[in-house]
C-alpha cells in the first residue's frame, strides 16, 4: 500500500513540476526550460504577441465605478439577451492575436459572414475602447462582436526510459515522455447596438501525446493544433445552438 502511495505521489510531483500554461495566441513550443522554441513563435515582431485583451475593456466595464441600486435595477429591467442572426456580419477577435486562427474563422464562416479584427491590446482601455470597438463593428455592418480567449494547460509524465541513454541516438529517438494537454476557451458576445453582452465557456478538450527528445517540438505543436481544432468546432457549435436564430 505504501509503495503504491509513494508511486502516486511521485507521479503527482512530476506532473505538477512540468505544468505550463500558455495562451492560444502564443502557443509555440516551450522546451524543458519553459522557453518557446522556434516552431511556434511569430518571427515578425510587428505582428507578434503583446499580451491579452482585458474582458473589462471588451465588455465596456470601468473598474471601480460606483453604481446605485436604482441604476443596477434599471439596467437589469432593460437587459435583453444577445442573439445572432445566421448569415449576419460578425466582428471576430482572438485575444492576443493579430488575426483570429484560421480554423475558428472557417468554422464560424459556416454560419456567419466573419470580419476578422486584431485582438492585440492597445494603450487605451475601459468603456472608451469598447465603444471604439463597437463603432468599428458598426462601420463594417456587424451586429455582433465575438471575442474569444483561450489557454493551453500541459503537464509532462516522464517514463523510466528517460534516464537510460547509453547511445545518444537511441536516447533521443526513444519515446520517453507523455504530455497531457487541455484547452479552455471563453467566448464573449457583444451586441453592437446596445452594448449588451454575454459570456460562455465550452467544455474543455484533453489529449495525450507520447514523444522522444528529438521529436518533442513537433509532437507538441501537432497536439496544440489538434486541440485548437476540436475547441473551435465545439465553440462554434455551442454559439449557434444557444445564441443564433
List, in order, residues 6 or more apart from 68 with CB less than 8 Å away: none
Distance CA 15, CA 37 (A): 21
pLDDT tens track, the chain, 245 positions: 555 444 444 444 444 446 788 999 998 887 654 455 443 444 445 567 889 999 998 998 877 677 788 888 988 888 888 999 999 999 999 999 999 999 999 999 999 999 999 999 887 666 788 999 999 999 999 999 999 999 999 887 766 555 544 444 444 455 567 778 899 999 999 999 999 999 999 999 988 777 666 678 888 899 999 999 999 999 999 999 999 98
Domain locations in the chain as residue ranges: 12-31+51-62+69-243
Q: Count other Cβ atoms within 10 Å, centred on residue 60.
A: 18
pTM for the full predicted model:
0.80
Compute the CA torsion angle 12, 14, 15, 19 (nearest 10 deg): 140
List, in order, residues 6 or more apart from 42 with CB less than 8 Å away: 48, 49
Cβ contact 220:184 at 8 Å = no
Cβ contact 98:118 at 8 Å = yes
Of 209, 219, 215, 214, the C-alpha closest to 169 is 214
Amino acid at each position: 500500500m505504501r509503495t503504491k502511495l509513494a508511486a502516486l505521489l511521485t507521479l503527482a510531483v512530476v506532473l505538477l513540476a512540468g505544468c505550463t500554461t500558455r495562451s492560444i495566441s502564443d502557443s509555440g513550443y516551450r522546451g524543458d526550460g519553459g522557453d518557446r522554441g522556434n516552431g511556434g513563435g511569430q518571427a515578425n515582431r510587428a505582428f507578434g504577441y503583446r499580451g491579452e485583451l482585458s474582458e473589462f475593456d471588451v465588455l465596456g466595464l470601468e473598474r471601480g465605478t460606483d453604481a446605485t441600486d436604482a441604476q443596477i435595477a434599471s439596467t437589469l429591467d432593460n437587459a435583453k439577451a444577445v442573439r445572432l442572426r445566421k448569415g449576419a456580419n460578425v466582428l471576430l477577435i482572438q485575444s492576443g492575436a493579430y488575426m483570429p486562427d484560421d480554423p475558428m474563422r472557417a468554422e464560424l464562416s459556416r454560419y456567419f459572414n466573419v470580419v476578422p479584427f486584431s485582438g492585440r491590446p492597445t494603450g487605451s482601455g475601459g468603456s472608451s475602447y469598447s465603444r471604439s470597438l463597437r463603432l468599428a463593428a458598426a462601420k463594417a455592418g456587424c451586429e455582433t462582436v465575438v471575442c474569444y480567449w483561450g489557454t493551453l494547460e500541459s503537464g509532462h509524465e516522464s517514463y523510466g526510459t528517460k534516464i537510460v541513454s547509453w547511445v545518444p541516438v537511441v536516447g533521443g529517438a526513444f519515446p520517453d515522455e507523455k504530455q497531457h494537454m487541455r484547452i479552455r476557451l471563453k467566448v464573449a458576445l457583444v451586441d453592437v447596438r446596445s452594448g449588451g453582452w454575454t459570456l460562455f465557456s465550452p467544455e474543455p478538450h484533453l489529449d495525450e501525446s507520447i514523444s522522444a527528445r528529438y521529436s518533442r517540438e513537433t509532437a507538441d505543436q501537432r497536439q496544440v493544433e489538434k486541440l485548437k481544432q476540436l475547441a473551435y468546432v465545439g465553440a462554434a457549435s455551442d454559439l449557434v445552438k444557444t445564441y443564433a436564430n
